[in-house]
Chains A and B, each alone.
Chain A
């Protein structure tokens, strides 16, 4: 990634940040929530490029969200940066552990096993009184370096935090996608035997991808928890995972910015759909997915990146 691109990205995000005080609060909240989804989708892109589609990414999303809620409730942690760091670490840790199992599987088995694991967490959350059961847990308002903004200021602060997270994720994921491990995703999808015979373990590569994607899902969960000020078991439910896969199809795996634009589009379509058809908004969402698959099968990102038949450097945007 060139310095110019980084500068441009920083300028766009900076502009958004500066525009916040002149934007309706509901819109800022919507965008913040979309960014939390975008972070999760960034992680899905990493797996997606290797031909892996997890139907249970909500496991890590919920792990991140609950880590924020419980760190506040049990240990009185309120610093937003610390909360996010804890959430990312916990989600990555969970992925590292379940990865020993998950990384052995591919295709539908990988997808369903990841779904199964997320549903186990859902079951635990629903049954456990200490974890809030079906009602969930309220998340206390976070502080930022000791400052405790309230009212609209809190919404702005979270939004700025979200922008910072998006910027870091964009830099980090782009760097990863351009690395040997990142580029080998396509190689794993193409031919695992060859990868092994080049001297590197495919299982370990998949394990690494899973852990990185989980860290991003944990960050997304943490941001969602802070933004909604509440966590509940629905965050681990399979429909939440399905939503992430939905946005990944919408965004495509071609570029990182597309993940955030896709997430934003998803939130906007959902908000409009709920307003138009309160009882049948899924109908509209489903139609959007259908149209995406029919007309933009490679996602929004494919429209942003000019297709190169023989790319000297595979699109690590």
Chain B
């Protein structure tokens, strides 16, 4: 039984800058993977390559035994890999309900724009799907509010709810709790994980808060300098010496390469 998502020798360079190198990861169905690392360690580059936002310079990405390296993002999305964004990507002039109708309508009408021209935007099916998502993500009180007026946490939930409209098998969440206050983070993650677990979605989430990672991840990938320096259970990965040194621990390396005392929390 091979992995659902399999990454081999993945590399990305921007001119002289190496943003990712030699990334090898196999992710089985149903796992919840926390991705940690300091800013610039290559976490988002990794997510961007898997979702087709960036084309890898080298290496392969396989999903369900199919090579998806370099495919356009909408094709990858259609195959079953969705994502949310660090800055929530919603339609500000649409209400929450309309945002979800857009997501469910596209998921239902297919890739063809002719199909999209021939199916109703608000139909019994699309509104039922939208209402289900609203209930699952617990945003009913904002149903008719314009997305531009939503609090940050609700906008994040809407972004993720839209990403799950096509029932993806893999969902990548880029910093789902960034910009959220410390008190609200756990509540937000509970809602997200509750909604996704019900669907059996395989989840990869980028996170800076180690308490969140310990609580929600089955497995942790620690990124440093463009590659994975630790991969294992939260206890193993967070206990790793280099992870403690470079990411979570008592020492952080500043840009000029000096090590200094302090907590590398970017939360």
Contact = CB atoms under 8 A, between A and B. Distances in A.
B55 to A, nearest CB: 15
Q: Determine chain A's interface SS by DSSP, over half rule.
A: helix
Contacts, number: 116
Given A310-B145, A314-B98, A199 B118 contact: no
Give the interface centre of A180, A193, A208 by most chain B CB atoms within 10 Å: A180
Contact of B89 (A180, A186, A191, A199): A191
A193 B144 contact: no
A186 B106 contact: no
Interface residues on B, range: 35 or more
Nearest to A198: B106
A180 B74 contact: no
Interface in A277-317: 309-314
A178 B111 CA distance: 18
Interface in B136-194: 144-146, 162-163, 165-166
B91 interface: yes
Interface string A126-153: 0000000000000000000000000000
Contacts of B109: 180
Contacts of B122: 178, 183, 312-313
Contacts of B237: none
Interface in B101-122: 101-103, 105-107, 109, 111, 113-122
Interface stretch (B76-84, B197-205, B223-231, B246-254): B76-84
B101 to A, nearest CB: 8
B120 A180 contact: yes
Interface in A90-115: none
B50 to A, nearest CB: 13
A201 B111 contact: yes
A186 B78 CA distance: 22
B95 interface: yes
B63 to A, nearest CB: 15
A159 to B, nearest CB: 30
Given A186-B91, A190-B93, A208 B113 contact: yes
Given A180-B106, A183-B102, A197-B77, A191 B117 contact: no
A205 B163 CA distance: 20
B92 interface: yes
Contacts of A196: 72-74, 77
Contacts of B115: 180
B216 interface: no
A184 interface: yes
A190 B105 contact: no
Contact of B97 (A201, A309, A312): A312
Contact of A180 (B90, B105, B145): B105
A199 B120 contact: no
A198 B162 contact: yes
B106 A194 contact: no
A194 B146 CA distance: 16
Given A183-B102, A200-B113, A314-B98, A194 B118 contact: no
Interface residues of A, number: 33
Of A182, A183, A205, most buried by chain B (CB within 10 Å of CB) is A183
B114 A208 contact: yes
Contacts of A310: 95, 144-146
A198 B121 CA distance: 14
Interface string A142-184: 0000000000000000000000000000000000101111111
Contacts of A180: 102, 105-106, 109, 115-117, 119-121
B113 A186 contact: no
A205 B111 CA distance: 10
Nearest to A196: B74
A20 interface: no
Given A179-B121, A197-B74, A310-B145, A187 B91 contact: yes
A204 interface: yes
Contacts of A197: 51, 73-74, 77, 82-83, 89, 163
Q: Among the interface residues B51, B83, B113, which one has the most CB atoms of the partner chain A within 10 A?
A: B113
A204 B113 contact: yes
A200 B117 contact: no
Contacts of A195: 102, 106
A187 B94 contact: yes
B11 to A, nearest CB: 24
8 contacts: A179-B116, A179-B119, A191-B89, A195-B106, A196-B77, A310-B144, A310-B146, A313-B122
Closest 9 CB pairs of A and B: A183-B121, A181-B116, A310-B144, A181-B117, A190-B91, A180-B116, A194-B89, A180-B105, A199-B77
Given A198-B106, A205-B113, A312-B97, 12 more contacts: A180-B106, A181-B116, A182-B117, A191-B89, A193-B85, A194-B89, A196-B74, A198-B107, A200-B106, A200-B113, A201-B113, A313-B122
Interface of A: 176, 178-184, 186-187, 189-191, 193-201, 204-205, 207-208, 212, 309-314
